[in-house]
Amino acid sequence: MQKQIIIVALIVMIAALSGCLSTLHPLFTEKDLVYDPRLVGTWRTGDEDDTAVIEQGSAASFNELPGALRNLASRAYMVTYKSKYKTTKYHAFLCRIGKEYFLDYYPAENSRQKTYDPFYKAHFTKMHSFYRLRFRDNNSFEIGQFDDGYLGNLIKQKQIRIQHEVRVDGSYLITAPTEELQQYVIKYSDVEEAYNSSTRHTYQKIQ
Amino acid sequence: MKIFILAALSLGMLLSSSCLTSVHPLVTIQNIIEENSLIGTWQQGEDTYVVEKLTKSGIYREMENSVTNKDKENKEKKPLTGKEKEDSIFHSHAYCVSFSRNDVNYYMSGSLTRIDDQLYMELFPIVIDDKEQNDGSGFDYTFNYLPGITIAKVDLRNKNTIQLQFPDGDYIKKQIDDGNMRIKHEKDNWFDTFLITASTRDLRSFFQKYGHDERLFSKENSVTLTRKG
């Protein structure tokens, strides 16, 4: 239990410090969705022991999502990240907005999480996080996640109008609808400071 | 910690489908109250829930120790100020509700407030202790999940019986869709997301207005807990 609590506390701190932007609404609409088979495979994500397995979505892997999204499974992906300490899964949606590709990640429950108490789980709302993706070639791509600190500063300095809530701890919950989110990524996709440096990686295909 | 003894499985099954979560709290440092008659062990069916003062709970002490080790290294005891001080005061009035299911321990914080003549409790998730997940994964505070609160009306029947009435989320959502009820919220039909984003003030006004409305607090969303031992 002691180790568990320590790890939880570390995760809290890391999550607070990492500044990864997450939003309530998705970045994409159905018409923005694209499917690129180049993403499918096993990838080295940057750290030596970390890998990402990207598979084409299926009705089975998307069965926890509402019906309309299950129908889009074959146009989306299932991403499984494996590190030394944990395995995390996401439903991932590739979309083209403006001149760039973006991946919208939406968390998927692992088999253990599916057994957790439903009332406890009901207290958590799943959030979207998104990455700019740039293919280098068929065996590698660059990925960078938007930084919530950068957006938070824009909000604080009134340099942007984007729908949000200010939580009890002072952090921002971005509640902007999809259209507003797309305007943001179009405007800031080329601003390197808008990305979280710790999550910028080059993925290399293993198989 | 006021007992938020949730009706075990039946509560879980009921609320997972119609649960309403709010991003903003109903309870603040200005309106939090204590009701220590809730402290103890409670039962609903085969499930047991333990309610204790949050600051006296093992989980709180462990988390405090894990986060403040660096402060201990500095060997400096600074008085709390600002937000830290407010949090400390709030925690001193709050409760820890814990329960176990399938060898997984769940910990939630519960805090109480009064709105007119009615007692309300809000629940907020703290941590899952799952020995099978040594990496600490679960519904913890990563950026992939937004933790929210649920709210229940508390009826202290007597010192050995409590009834918790949770708002009927499905009813509220329908009333909002039909234009009969107004409360700030965010909804995403595609991903089936529904989140109350009303401010604390507006939340309290909402329950002040609808707190006695039996359509909001139906018997189907009620749970009765009995003191154990």
pLDDT in tens, B72-117: 555 456 677 777 778 888 889 999 999 999 899 999 999 999 999 9
Interface contact A122, partner B, CB < 8 A: yes
DSSP B1-14: -------HHHHHHH
Query: Are A119 and B142 inside 8 Å of each other by CB?
Result: no
- In chain A, what residues touch B123 (CB-CB under 8 Å)? 123
Interface contact A116, partner B, CB < 8 A: yes
Interface contact A5, partner B, CB < 8 A: yes
Which among A9, A112, A173 has the least Cβ separation from residue B132?
A112
The whole-angstrom distance between B98's CA and the closest CA on chain A is: 11
The whole-angstrom distance between B146's CA and the closest CA on chain A is: 5
Amino acid A77: pLDDT: 98
State the Cα–Cα distance between residues A193 and B191, nearest whole angstrom. Answer: 30
Chain A's closest residue to B21, CA to CA, is A123
- Please name which of A109, A6, A89 lies closest in space to residue B67, comparing C-alpha atoms: A6
Q: Lowest-confidence range among B66-75, B112-121, B217-226?
A: B66-75
pLDDT tens readout for residues A147-178: 999 999 999 999 999 999 999 988 999 999 99
Amino acid A165: pLDDT: 96
**Hey, what long-range contacts does B168-171 have (CB within 8 A, 24 or more apart)?**
B168/B18, B168/B215, B168/B216, B168/B217, B168/B218, B168/B220, B168/B221, B169/B15, B169/B18, B169/B19, B169/B20, B169/B194, B170/B17, B170/B18, B171/B18, B171/B215, B171/B216, B171/B218
Amino acid B123: pLDDT: 96
Residues 78-107 of B with CB under 8 A from A: 83, 99, 101-102, 104, 106
- In chain B, what residues touch A174 (CB-CB under 8 Å)? none
The whole-angstrom distance between B197's CA and the closest CA on chain A is: 8
**Among residues of chain B, what percentage have pLDDT more than 90?**
60
User: With 70 as the cut, is the pLDDT of residue A17 above it?
Assistant: no
Q: What is the enclosing helix (H) or strand (E) of A46? A: none
The whole-angstrom distance between B103's CA and the closest CA on chain A is: 10
Average pLDDT over residues B136-158: 82
Confidence of residue A5 (pLDDT cuts 50, 70, 90): very low
Which among B101, B186, B191 has the least Cβ separation from residue A175?
B186
Higher per-residue confidence, A41 vs B133: A41
Encoded tokens for B188: 């995403």
Amino acid B135: pLDDT: 60
Interface contact B137, partner A, CB < 8 A: yes
Count Cβ–Cβ pairs < 8 Å, chain A vs chain B.
172
Amino acid B194: pLDDT: 95
Amino acid A49: pLDDT: 82
The residues facing B127 across adjacent strands are B107
On the CB side of A32, how many CA atoms lie within 13 Å of its CA?
19
Amino acid B12: pLDDT: 52
End-to-end CA distance of chain B: 18
Interface contact A127, partner B, CB < 8 A: yes
- 3-state secondary structure at position A15: helix
Amino acid B75: pLDDT: 47
Amino acid A46: pLDDT: 77
- In chain B, what residues touch A5 (CB-CB under 8 Å)? 59, 62-63, 66, 127, 129
Amino acid A94: pLDDT: 98
Average pLDDT over residues B41-61: 92
Give how far Cα A10 sits from Cα of A6, A27, A120, Å: 6, 29, 21
Encoded tokens for A88: 């995390």
Average pLDDT over residues A13-31: 78
User: With 80 as the cut, is the pLDDT of residue A12 above it?
Assistant: no
- Pairing mode, strands B47-53 and B185-188: unpaired
State the Cα–Cα distance between residues B131 and B162, nearest whole angstrom. Answer: 31
Amino acid B140: pLDDT: 62
The residue behind tokens 């979207």 is A128
State the Cα–Cα distance between residues B60 and B98, nearest whole angstrom. Answer: 12
Higher per-residue confidence, A72 vs B220: A72
Average pLDDT over residues A38-61: 92
Chain B's closest residue to A175, CA to CA, is B186
Confidence of residue A7 (pLDDT cuts 50, 70, 90): very low
Query: Are A3 and B124 inside 8 Å of each other by CB?
Result: no
Interface contact A114, partner B, CB < 8 A: no
- In chain B, what residues touch A113 (CB-CB under 8 Å)? 137-139
Average pLDDT over residues B18-29: 92
Residues 6+ apart with CB under 8 A from B117: none
Amino acid A195: pLDDT: 93
Q: Lowest-confidence range among B12-26, B143-157, B178-192?
A: B12-26
The 8-class DSSP code of residue A86 comes to: -
Q: What φ, ψ does residue B217 adopt, rounded to 5°?
A: -115, 75
- In chain A, what residues touch B135 (CB-CB under 8 Å)? 7, 85-87
pLDDT tens readout for residues A98-127: 999 999 999 998 888 889 999 999 999 999
Higher per-residue confidence, B198 vs B62: B198
Residues 175-214 of B with CB under 8 A from A: 186, 188, 190-193, 195, 197
Confidence of residue A15 (pLDDT cuts 50, 70, 90): very low
Amino acid B73: pLDDT: 57
Q: Lowest-confidence range among A50-59, B60-69, B144-153, B166-175?
A: B60-69
Instruction: Report the predicted TM-score, pTM, of the whole model to 2 decimal places.
Output: 0.88
- 3-state secondary structure at position B97: strand
Pair B29, B89: CB distance under 8 Å: yes
Mean pLDDT, all residues of chain A: 89
Chain A's closest residue to B191, CA to CA, is A66
User: With 70 as the cut, is the pLDDT of residue B53 above it?
Assistant: yes
Neighbours of A49 (CB within 10 A): 10
Mutation target for B interface from A64, A120, A181: give the one with most B CBs within 10 A.
A120
Amino acid B76: pLDDT: 54
Interface contact A8, partner B, CB < 8 A: yes
Amino acid B14: pLDDT: 47
Length of chain B: 229
- 3-state secondary structure at position A191: coil
